[in-house]
Structure 1
Amino acid sequence: MEKKIVFFDLDGTILNETKQIPESTKKAVQMLQQNGISTVIATGRVPIMFEWILKELNIDSFVSINGQYVVYEGSEIYTNPMDAEMLADLTNAASGKGHAIAYCGSHAVNASEENHEWLAEGLKTMKLGYPVVDREFYRHTPVYQAHLYCGTEDDKLYSELYPGYKFVRWGENAFDVLPEGASKAIGIEKMLKAAGIKNENSYAFGDGYNDIEMLEAIGTGIAMGNGVAEAKEAADMVTDSCSEDGIYNALLKLGLIQKNEAVSTVQKV
């Protein structure tokens, strides 16, 4: 039997609106693991932000920071840090407009400004406190992604200033800043190669704008019922919402788990 693998986005997919993991999702992931199917997190978050989820779900492989930092079975297999001089220029441009930057390293997030309202609001949606402020974090630590906190009408201005980069919205006044071409899909490609799994045997769940490329590139893409319209259009199928057993129900329909399967106790990593 050929190996199979399932990738899961976090916010709005694994995690519901209260940032909790539904019991049906925990059960579904355990059932996949019992069936010998690899389970992987694929997220825009920095690893330190989801360590508790890895432990809770007994997962040791992840495509993080929108494909910029990839770990397979506990070992780093791919990194793609951003250019420090570009980050310096972006920091100055944002500061001059009253905007803020959050720098995402592999194990830390630092901020460019003190007490910035939009930055605080953005991280609060992930139940995170305000980060350490270090305007030159990128000088001494590899940064794989930046968060830009600006008005909704300003993203086009930044796109014109930095043509080699893309600005992907994830909040009302929050954008992921990534090198053009970077995506969860690239990280997944690296993961599939390391795991020796064919794309046709890969599956992915997502709900947001940063999941679109992943849902298009994966063998079978599944959009959550609570997802944005563009993610649903990119997917091969649409399941129920994350709060309505969407992951569990889709895996049943795909035949990757069976309704009458028993779930054994899994030792956490």
Structure 2
Amino acid sequence: MKEKSIIFFDIDGTLLTHEKQLPQSAKEAVFQLKKKGHEVAIATGRAPFMYEDLRKELEIDSYVSYNGQYVVFKGEVIYKNPLNILALERLAETALLNDHPIVYMDHEDMKANVVEHAFIQESIQTLKIGRFPTHDPLYYKGRDLFQSLLFCQEGEEKQYEEIFEDFDFVRWHPLSVDVLPKGGSKARGIAKMTEKLGIAKSNQYAFGDGENDMEMLTAIYNSVAMGNAEDHIKAAAKYVTKSVDEDGIVHGLQMVGLL
């Protein structure tokens, strides 16, 4: 058996197909890894409440949520990196002047600062999570928020990047960007977990396909980009596997010698 390793999997486009289905081969691979004694964790831009069913199905209780801002190991929160609330309030006020709504997100729920907006509906429905944010423009008050969603068309986030230095803006949909604490990333969240476990860099693996996986794929020693990733994301990884629709998880794990 190989020395104990930890493997981090992105969700959308990595574990789940673009139709948000979990391939049976990927599910079986996760259980094989655990049977071999390895740690398996999720690393995603999603909120914890957006993939509870997936965690239950895969029996995974360690995860890096919100692109690294909320980290849980074996059901215990080990790291939190909330947004600057005063800066977020200013961002929301400015964005509304441009008809760009905001969704506030903590570890339990998400609330929009507008009653409804076509951009929110269109982008959130692509996640197929069965829920949409309800209206609460003051949800940011008195609580830790780990990520927000800013809804605007591609390129329009540039005006906010120039003004709001407390945040990073990472696009995940043509109509929406993640708003993260400056310097926050999956790579930083993963580091908090691997430091706790004391697992050597050579025994750390990560699979991803999206823009928000770039830091993770660059930082993790054994990084694997999915075949469905764009070329610049593939270039950031050590390995490139097949597409998520072509049993890419199994192929990648075999490629790196874990299966």
TM surpasses 0.5: yes
Structure 2 residue aligned with 1:32: 33
Structure 2 residue aligned with 1:260: none
Task: Output the amino acid matched with 2:110.
Answer: V
- Judging changes above 3 Å, is the alpha-carbon distance between structure 1 residues 141 and 164 closer, same or farther for their aligned structure 2 residues? closer
Taking only aligned residues, the RMSD between alpha carbons, in angstroms, comes to: 1.0
Q: Which runs of 5+ in 1 are unaligned?
A: 258-269
Structure 1 residue aligned with 2:68: 67
Map Cα deviations across residues 114-157 of structure 1 (whole Å, 9 max, x no partner). Answer: 21111111110101432111111110321001111012231110
2:162 is the counterpart of 1:164: no
Structure 2 residue aligned with 1:116: 117
Instruction: Indicate conservation of the 8 Å contact 1:5/1:203, yes or no.
Output: yes
Q: Which runs of 5+ in 2 are unaligned?
A: none
Structure 1 residue aligned with 2:17: 16
Which deviates further from its counterpart, 131-140 or 68-77? 131-140
1:177 alignment partner, SS class:
strand
Map Cα deviations across residues 30-86 of structure 1 (whole Å, 9 max, x no partner). Answer: 110000011000000000000111100010100000000000011000001111111
Structure 2 residue aligned with 1:218: 220
Task: Output the amino acid matched with 1:225.
Answer: G
Aligned residue pairs total: 257
Instruction: Indicate conservation of the 8 Å contact 1:225/1:241, yes or no.
Output: yes
Task: Output the amino acid matched with 1:86.
Answer: A
Structure 2 residue aligned with 1:261: none
Paired with 1:245 and 1:151, the residues of 2 have a C-alpha distance of 33
Q: TM-score when scaled to structure 1?
A: 0.93
Instruction: Indicate conservation of the 8 Å contact 1:91/1:135, yes or no.
Output: no
Of all paired residues, the percent bearing the same amino acid is 45
Structure 1 residue aligned with 2:243: 241
Q: TM-score when scaled to structure 2?
A: 0.97
1:140 alignment partner, SS class:
coil
Structure 2 residue aligned with 1:189: 191
Instruction: Indicate conservation of the 8 Å contact 1:204/1:222, yes or no.
Output: yes
Paired with 2:244 and 2:180, the residues of 1 have a C-alpha distance of 27
Structure 2 residue aligned with 1:208: 210
Where in structure 1 do 4 or more consecutive aligned residues deviate above 2 Å? none
Paired with 2:241 and 2:140, the residues of 1 have a C-alpha distance of 40
Which deviates further from its counterpart, 31-40 or 123-132? 123-132
